[in-house]
């Protein structure tokens, strides 16, 4: 799932450090990296769910790869859009993994580990150091994991764990990852030449 890398729309919390154009340029690099790693994982169909639509040149350029399809995220809060993406994917697959584009260490190996975990668990997560998560994988769409969630807060993973327990779901957690949301997070891009 990704926002189009448009200045003033993508990675807005990084604007104080990078400026609107710089934040959008970083978003474009992180988008390309996430798609490249998803395809390299070789797990199955890859869909790029774009917002506000899929007409941005960064999306259409990536979709020249025949292994990638584009789909708009649609309306609603992040939870509604994520649930819809899972429902669509799980209509034709036994399991699905959903990622954003802001965790640079989320690579093909992490994606394969997530897929392996789904062979024996109902769900898999790669928690983020900020209290959210960078990856979620499911074998069935679970509304409880998406409805009325305080997205973009440090409470997301803790609340998700509570809801998993309440639902009797078996889940696996991969090692935590850093995501790039705030200027202080830019240190995690050191040596990549991205920022």
Give me the sign of the Cα torsion angle 118, 121, 122, 124: negative
Instruction: Report pTM.
Output: 0.95
| CATH 3.30.1330.180 for the 2-179 domain, yes or no | no
Task: State pLDDT tens for residues 46-94.
Answer: 999 999 999 999 999 999 999 999 999 999 999 999 999 999 999 999 9
Look up residue 150 and give its DSSP letter. Answer: -
38-48 pLDDT, tens digit per residue, is 999 999 999 99
Domains of the chain, by residue range, sit at 2-179
Torsions phi, psi of 113, nearest 5?
-65, -40
The DSSP call for residue 109 is: H
DSSP per-residue string spanning 39-53: HHHT-S-EEEEEES-
């Amino acid at each position: 799932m990704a926002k189009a890398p448009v200045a003033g729309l993508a990675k807005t919390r990084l604007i104080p450090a990078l400026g609107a154009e710089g934040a959008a340029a970083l978003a474009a690099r992180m988008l390309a990296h996430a798609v490249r790693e998803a395809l390299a994982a070789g797990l199955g169909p890859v869909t790029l769910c774009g917002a506000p639509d899929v007409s941005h040149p960064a999306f259409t350029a990536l979709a020249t790869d025949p292994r990638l399809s584009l789909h708009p995220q649609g309306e609603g809060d992040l939870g509604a859009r994520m649930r819809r993406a899972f429902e669509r994917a799980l209509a034709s697959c036994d399991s699905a993994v959903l990622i954003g584009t802001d965790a640079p260490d989320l690579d093909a190996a992490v994606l394969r580990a997530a897929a392996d975990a789904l062979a024996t668990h109902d769900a898999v997560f790669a928690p983020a150091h900020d209290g959210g998560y960078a990856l979620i994988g499911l074998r069935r769409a679970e509304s409880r994991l998406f409805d009325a969630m305080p997205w973009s807060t440090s409470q997301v993973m803790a609340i998700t764990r509570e809801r998993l327990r309440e639902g009797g779901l078996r889940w696996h957690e991969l090692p935590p990852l850093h995501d790039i949301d705030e200027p202080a997070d830019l240190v995690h891009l050191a040596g990549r030449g991205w920022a």
